């Protein structure tokens, strides 16, 4: 018999909804996006529905006018700590930038959350392209894509080495182009060993990083052919890097409108058109 295949289903919580006017829905409060209990309730519903994980995006800058729509405000690992305490099995995926973080601090933060959650955490690796973010960190502009992914590749190597040091207690000795790290992460290993790595970049550089390092890849392609091409490229890079291509899971994005019946879902969709 052929091996049984399983579908991986996560919920991507984008503020109070994907639609810009979702905050006006009668069953939501417009400040839900800064209410920890809101995320906990979404997570409990997702766990009850046997979904695999809750995914939080992030951007370390105010990207949208809050007078028009709510925007991301709470730091993801803080929210996921609340979600972890409200659930037992749900995976916890948090986004953090390799351009505007330090490898040791990020490795410490995510592995700590993985330990206290019982081994349910994944780090979504991003490089951040929003121009306004640079000024928050004393930069005049965002580095170009090539430079961001060059740093990201070394960043991921350092973080995974630090997570390995948590298990082996063997110090990391890294002297690279961007980082110089010598030491052991003081956090113990988690029940799953280390957090999983998720990557969501659609550029050639992002797909290369994904194939080389990621356990799962979020794909937001708009056509079937583009999705297949993304799939093949990531798998080819994984194979060339000596990895089992089957170990890299491709997760296509899907925007859904949910109702208790099909008619209710259609009515909700038409309300926001």
Helix 103-116 with 145-168: angle, nearest 10 deg: 50
Distance between CA atoms of 157 and 213, rounded to whole angstroms? 9
Query: Which of 123, 134, 65, 61 has its CA nearest to residue 91?
Result: 123
Distance CA 258, CA 262 (A): 8
Q: What dihedral do alpha carbons 79, 84, 87, 92 form, nearest 10°?
A: 80
Task: Please indicate, yes or no, if residue 94 is contained in any of the structural domains.
Answer: yes
* 136 close to 118: Cβ distance less than 8 angstroms: no
Q: From the CB of residue 25, how many other CB atoms can be counted at a distance below 10 Å?
A: 16
Task: Give the model's pLDDT for residue 256.
Answer: 85
110/24 Cα distance (integer angstroms) = 34
Q: Return the pLDDT at 68.
A: 73
> What is the reported pLDDT for 6?
82
Domain assignment of residue 225, yes or no: no
Range of the domain at 103: 10-199
DSSP for residue 247? G
Q: Please give the backbone phi and psi of residue 81, each rounded to the nearest 5 degrees, phi first.
A: -65, -40
Residue 177: its pLDDT value, please? 97
Contacts of 207 (CB under 8 A, 6+ apart): 201, 217, 230, 233, 234, 237
- Region class of 169: left (phi > 0), else alpha (psi between -120 and 50), else beta: left
SS3 235: helix
Instruction: Count up the domains in the chain and report the number.
Output: 1
239 in a structural domain: no
**How far is Cα 95 from Cα 3, in angstroms, rounded to an integer?**
32
pLDDT at 184: 96
Residue 255 forms part of a structural domain? no
Can you list the alpha helix ranges (DSSP code H) found in the chain?
A: 36-48, 76-86, 103-116, 133-136, 145-168, 204-213, 224-240, 262-271
CATH of the domain at 144: 3.20.20.30
CA dihedral 151, 152, 153, 157 (to 10 degrees): 100
Integer Cα distance of 265 and 56 in angstroms: 24
Cα 273 from Cα 113, distance rounded (Å): 39
Take residue 109 and report the two structure tokens written for it. Answer: 């933060």
In this prediction, the residues of the chain whose per-residue pLDDT falls under 50 are none
Cβ contact 94:123 at 8 Å: yes
Q: CA 57 to CA 12: how far, in whole Å?
A: 8
What pLDDT, in 10s, does the model give residues 206-237? 999 999 999 999 988 889 899 999 999 999 99
What pLDDT was estimated at residue 1?
A: 56
What does the pLDDT read at residue 272?
Answer: 67
Residue 62 lies in a domain: yes
Q: What is the pLDDT of residue 2?
A: 62
Is 223 among the domain residues?
no
Residue 226: inside a domain: no
Residue 111 forms part of a structural domain: yes
């Amino acid at each position: 018999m052929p091996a049984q295949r399983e579908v991986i289903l996560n919920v991507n919580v984008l503020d109070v909804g994907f639609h810009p006017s979702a905050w006006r829905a009668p069953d939501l409060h417009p400040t839900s996006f800064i209410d920890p209990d809101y995320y906990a309730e979404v997570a409990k519903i997702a766990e009850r529905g046997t979904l695999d994980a809750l995914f939080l995006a992030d951007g370390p800058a105010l990207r949208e006018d809050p007078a028009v729509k709510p925007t991301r405000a709470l730091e993801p690992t803080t929210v996921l700590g609340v979600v972890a305490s409200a659930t037992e099995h749900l995976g916890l995926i948090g986004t953090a930038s390799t351009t505007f973080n330090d490898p040791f601090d990020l490795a410490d933060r995510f592995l700590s959350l993985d330990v206290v959650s019982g081994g349910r955490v994944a780090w979504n690796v991003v490089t951040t392209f929003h121009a306004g973010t640079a000024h928050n960190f004393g930069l005049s502009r965002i580095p170009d894509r090539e430079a961001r992914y060059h740093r990201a590749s070394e960043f991921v190597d350092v973080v995974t080495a630090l997570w390995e040091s948590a298990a082996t207690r063997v110090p990391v000795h890294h002297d690279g182009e961007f980082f110089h790290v010598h030491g052991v992460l003081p956090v113990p290993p988690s029940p799953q060993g280390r957090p999983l790595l998720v990557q969501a970049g659609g550029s050639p550089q992002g797909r290369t990083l994904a194939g080389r390092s990621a356990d799962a890849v979020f794909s937001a392609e708009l056509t079937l052919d583009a999705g297949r091409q993304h799939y093949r490229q990531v798998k080819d890079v994984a194979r060339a890097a000596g990895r089992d291509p089957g170990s890299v899971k491709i997760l296509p994005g899907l925007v859904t409108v949910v109702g208790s019946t099909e008619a209710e879902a259609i009515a909700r969709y038409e309300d926001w058109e």
